[in-house]
């Protein structure tokens, strides 16, 4: 049985961005662990569909408001008195950041600032996990596995906004949180996949939408490598870390990478081919007009997370794609209940990491 199986039972946990893709999976998992879950969300949100499919509106206490509203955030935190906060609320899309840079910077920086500024007033908060991105590192234009001490940077507005949030987190950690005995960490993961993601310009949702409509799968960068990982792998890391720094904030606070294993990466084209093979149909077409900059190779060194908190990846990229494709296949093609499929996948994962 994993050490944090009983830890979350009865704990008061706030998840910002609860109605998003990653937030919905985290809330479903926390409910399963017996936590008292509170959430914040924002409209419009294409992934709110997953939140409601999982019946989370009945299982957690949540409020819909803009994370940049510091007054509202303070009211929610003051009322719910969370012991642990997972801050996921963000503008998470690279292409959208080019189209709307102002709001990308504003949401990703001011949202984080509001969480940290508000939380430092309350002693009942013992552990805060701020989710940033694997794209916070300065591009060195060569293949490299980034570790937590590498230089931060960002060419596209999304990456720059998340790197800025990292600097902000470190400042608050050194200036305030070390003195108040509250754990504060930033967690860096990316290219997370899993069932229920309907975001635009994401490879697996794009594949599924095209296959359902009998259209070509449009690919921007067929040869780009990414550390694809199932959503449950990094969430597992966040849960372990939140518990560790809750009990010993000075030892465990800091920045952590949660990336896929060294041999577990595929190109965008390889992913699309695997989805087509699992589904049994589909065709690929290349979009040659795409002009936005994205890093070609992006890999993380997660040795710190493995060494310091005992985290490890459970699913290879191929396994993650298979499980993700099966979620869509079961819920869309075979009309199975989304909640049942999701909970089943979480329980299987928990067995894999020896939690049950």
pLDDT bin (cut points 50, 70, 90) of residue 356 is very low
Give me the CATH code for the 12-352 domain, please. 3.40.50.720
Query: Rounded mean pLDDT of the chain?
Result: 91
Helices (H) and strands (E) in the chain, counts: 15, 15
pLDDT of 355 strictly over 60: no
pLDDT bin (cut points 50, 70, 90) of residue 193 is very high
The helix (run of H) or strand (run of E) holding residue 225 is: strand 225-226
Phi-psi bin for 185: left (phi > 0), alpha (psi -120 to 50), beta? beta
Residue 44 preceded by cis peptide, ω within 30: yes
* pLDDT tens-digit map of 224-247: 777 789 999 999 999 999 999 999
C-alpha–C-alpha distance, residues 350 and 262, integer Å: 22
pLDDT at 46: 61
DSSP codes of every residue in 305-317 = HHHHH-----S-H
């Amino acid at each position: 049985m994993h050490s944090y199986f009983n830890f979350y039972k009865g704990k008061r946990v706030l998840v910002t961005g609860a109605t998003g893709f990653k937030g919905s999976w985290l809330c479903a998992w926390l409910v399963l662990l017996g936590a008292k879950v509170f959430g914040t969300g924002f409209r419009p949100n294409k992934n709110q569909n997953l939140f409601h499919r999982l019946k989370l509106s009945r299982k957690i206490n949540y409020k819909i408001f803009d994370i940049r509203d510091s007054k509202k955030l303070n009211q929610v935190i003051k009322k719910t008195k969370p012991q642990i906060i997972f801050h996921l609320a963000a503008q998470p899309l690279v292409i959208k950041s080019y189209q709307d840079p102002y709001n990308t910077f504003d949401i990703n920086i001011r949202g984080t600032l509001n969480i940290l500024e508000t939380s430092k007033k309350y002693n009942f908060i013992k552990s805060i996990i701020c989710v940033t991105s694997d794209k916070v590192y300065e591009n060195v234009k060569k293949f490299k596995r980034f570790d937590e001490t590498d230089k931060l940077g960002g060419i596209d507005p999304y990456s720059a906004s998340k790197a800025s949030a990292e600097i902000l987190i470190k400042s608050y950690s050194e200036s305030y949180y070390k003195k108040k005995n509250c754990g504060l960490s930033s967690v860096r993961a990316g290219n997370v996949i899993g069932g229920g993601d309907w975001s635009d310009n994401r490879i697996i949702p794009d594949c599924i939408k095209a296959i359902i409509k009998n259209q070509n799968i449009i690919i921007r960068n067929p040869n780009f490598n990414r550390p694809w990982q199932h959503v449950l792998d990094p969430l597992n890391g966040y849960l372990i870390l939140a518990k560790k720094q809750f009990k010993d904030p000075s030892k465990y606070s800091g920045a952590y990478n949660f990336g896929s294993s060294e041999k577990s990466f595929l190109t965008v084209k390889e992913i699309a081919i695997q989805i087509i093979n699992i589904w049994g149909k589909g065709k690929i077409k290349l979009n040659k007009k795409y002009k936005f900059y994205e890093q070609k190779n992006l890999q993380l060194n997660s040795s710190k997370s493995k060494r310091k908190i005992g985290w490890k990846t459970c699913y290879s990229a191929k396994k993650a794609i298979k499980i993700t494709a099966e979620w869509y296949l079961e819920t869309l093609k075979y009309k199975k209940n989304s909640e049942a499929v999701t909970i089943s996948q979480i329980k299987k994962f928990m067995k894999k990491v020896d939690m049950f």
